[in-house]
Homo-oligomer: A and B are copies of this chain.
Amino acid sequence: MPSRPASDDPRLGDLSEGDILRAILARTVPASHAVIGPGDDAAVIAAPSGSVVATTDTLVHGPDFRLAWSSGYDLGWKAAAVNLADVAAMGARPTALLVALAVPRDLRLSFVEQLADGFREACGALAPGCAVVGGDLTVSDVLTVAVTALGDLEGRSAVTRAGARAGDAVAIAGELGDAARGLAVLFGRFRDGETPVPVDPTRLGSGERSALVAQLRPSPPIGLGPVAATAGATAMMDVSDGLALDARRLAAASDATIALDGAALGDDPERALAGGEDHALLATFPSGVLPPGFRRIGEVRPRAEDDLLLDGRPVDVSGWDPYRDWDSAAG
């Protein structure tokens, strides 16, 4: 849909909640599984498996994104993608999103419309049939997008982090380290002192541009979650805090050690291990099983002193902790 012209782009504080919701709903498509969609006290979504997978993840202006760097479209896309990835990581197919939006009064209507576009198009591209079925709109000085994603297991068992067994192959689907590289480009190239400034794509090479897309508008391999579950994945998780930290979590939950092969981690193994926000799928498979879209990066071993090894040696790279790493710079 076309963007709103600047001459007709009111601030949200000058509109009623109903006005804003109407503008958002005009850009929302029905979810295939929605029995009752937006507009009532709650939505009703089909859960044909007799269970529902549910997860929630929030993006907060400051620690999670900056308006100088992310458009409304980027923000909606990313908020959808990171939640869809958590559903996929259980082996489920995403069916619906609920979006709780807290917006500053001086934000423009067009921003929220673009946000709705980003949600719609991310769902269309990454999880066809899934869409926003409900939400909530409130005011806040800090722009906050809290999303809940629901999914259906289609008769499969959920794939948790706890099922990896010695002898399983460790595999990954999706990229490692690109999102972190994109963040480094933003912090390194598009700040004036501490203040983020808009991205000028003409200053970027093609590798930097694709890293930026991985950071701002990620495309995790959502459809491969159900593929992995069907193939017999013994454990699976979304890599959001860096492969090192997340592989350790999977190893701990499974009471095993994960031994990674550095040569399988690309040109920059350290970035692949430490970089957060990739939303790749980390899975373990019985020996001899490797579904299309996954590549082998190591193996599961019996639990040893160290829960994570790289080429046989303990790994001292840690991951991303939003508490420790947050700075409250504006922008």
Chain A interfacial positions (CB closer than 8 Å to B): 12-13, 15-17, 20, 35-36, 39-58, 60, 62-64, 85-87, 89-90, 92, 96, 98-100, 102, 105, 133-136, 138-142, 144, 146, 148-151, 153, 158, 160-162, 236-238, 253, 321-324, 326, 328
Contacts and interface: CB of A to CB of B under 8 A. Distances in A.
A136 B56 contact: yes
A53 B62 contact: no
Given A100-B146, A158-B35, A135 B56 contact: yes
A42 B135 contact: no
Given A40-B160, A140-B62, A323-B16, A148 B50 contact: no
Given A17-B323, A89-B42, A322-B17, A133 B54 contact: yes
A63 B13 CA distance: 13
Contact of A53 (B44, B140, B146): B44
B102 A40 contact: no
A110 to B, nearest CB: 17
Copies in the complex: 2
Given A12-B323, A144-B144, 16 more contacts: A16-B324, A17-B322, A41-B89, A42-B149, A44-B54, A47-B49, A52-B52, A52-B150, A56-B134, A58-B100, A60-B102, A60-B138, A62-B141, A100-B148, A102-B142, A140-B144
A326 B54 contact: no
B15 A150 contact: no
6 contacts: A35-B158, A45-B54, A63-B140, A100-B146, A138-B322, A140-B142
Given A51-B47, A54-B45, A146 B150 contact: no
A221 to B, nearest CB: 14
Given A16-B324, A58-B138, A144-B140, A47 B44 contact: no
A323 B98 contact: no
Given A55-B134, A142-B142, A151 B42 contact: yes
A238 B56 CA distance: 24
Nearest to A160: B40
Contacts of A40: 90, 158, 160-162, 237, 253
Nearest to A86: B41
The 3 closest A-B pairs by CB, nearest first: A146-B146, A42-B55, A47-B47
A85 B48 CA distance: 25
A301 to B, nearest CB: 22
B92 A42 contact: yes
